[in-house]
Structure 1
Amino acid sequence: MTISTAERDFFIEMGERIATLRKAHAVTQVQLAEALGVSQQTVQAYEVGRRRIPVSALPVVARLLAVPMDELFGTISNTVRGKRGPMSQLERSIERISELPKQKQRFVMEMLETVLAQANA
């Protein structure tokens, strides 16, 4: 069954979000694969959008990564942040970063990881 370009883009973006969240929570592809009952190669295929992750797997992913399912879909809005009042500088920066193209987001993440690694050294 063929899928539309929009559907393909959706699964690619979801896979990128899952990979980013997985890395942020220090979960390996192998650990995620074990939780889902699939191979590491299948998880890798989900993360790059080569395969569509089954809907039934999403609650397992969300639970393992300790995020709401909305976050996997990319539908978290500022009105659902859980606290009232204006956004912090950090939250505003994160929101601006999330609006960048994926390549620039990766660049920013690499810079942040480098700075955090140096701070913890």
Structure 2
Amino acid sequence: MPISLLLAADQHSRRHRGRPEGAPAARTTGKRGPAPKLQQQLERIIRLPKAQQHYVMQMIDIVLQKQQPCR
């Protein structure tokens, strides 16, 4: 799965979290703070060459597989 797709899904879920289907997005006022660290790291990964992105995704998959309960 491309990192850019993960980032887009993350941004979409952040915008729509806690809202009923079809409800308008709430407007935020004021300045936004710094991006969350995970988002910053995803943006850095997106700028890597595809081969390095693939390596990072393999490492993430390994970590996530270890977190899944045994079946």
TM-score interval (norm. to shorter): 0.5 to 0.7
Q: How far apart are residue 120 of structure 1 and its match?
A: 1.3
* 35, 46, 65: which one aligns with 1:87: 35
Paired position in structure 1 for 2:49: 101
The percent identity for this pair of structures is 37
The total of aligned residue pairs comes to 46
State the Cα distance separating 1:98 from its structure 2 match. 0.5
Q: Helix, strand or coil: the match of 2:35?
A: coil
Larger RCO (CA within 8 A; separation ≥ 6): 2
2:54 aligned partner, one-letter code: R
- In structure 2, how many angstroms separate the alpha carbons of the residues matched to 1:86 and 1:120? 31
Q: TM-score, normalised by structure 1?
A: 0.32
Stretches of 4+ aligned residues off by more than 6 angstroms: none
CA displacement 1:1-45 (0-9 Å, x = unmatched) = xxxxxxxxxxxxxxxxxx534xx6xxxxxxxxxxxxxxxxxxxxx
C-alpha separation between the residues in 1 aligned to 2:41 and 2:62?
18
- Aligned CA RMSD, in angstroms, stands at 2.6
Query: Letter of the aligned partner of 1:94 in structure 2?
Result: L
Alignment match, 1:117? 65
- With normalisation by structure 2, the TM-score equals 0.52
Q: Unpaired runs of 5+ in structure 1? A: 1-18, 25-64, 69-82
| Higher relative helix content | 1
> Structure 2 counterpart of 1:120, which letter?
Q
Distance (Å, rounded) in 2 between the aligned partners of 1:95 and 1:111: 17
Q: Following superposition of structure 1 onto structure 2, how do residues 10-49 of structure 1 map, counting pairs within 5 Å?
A: 19-20=1-2, 21=5
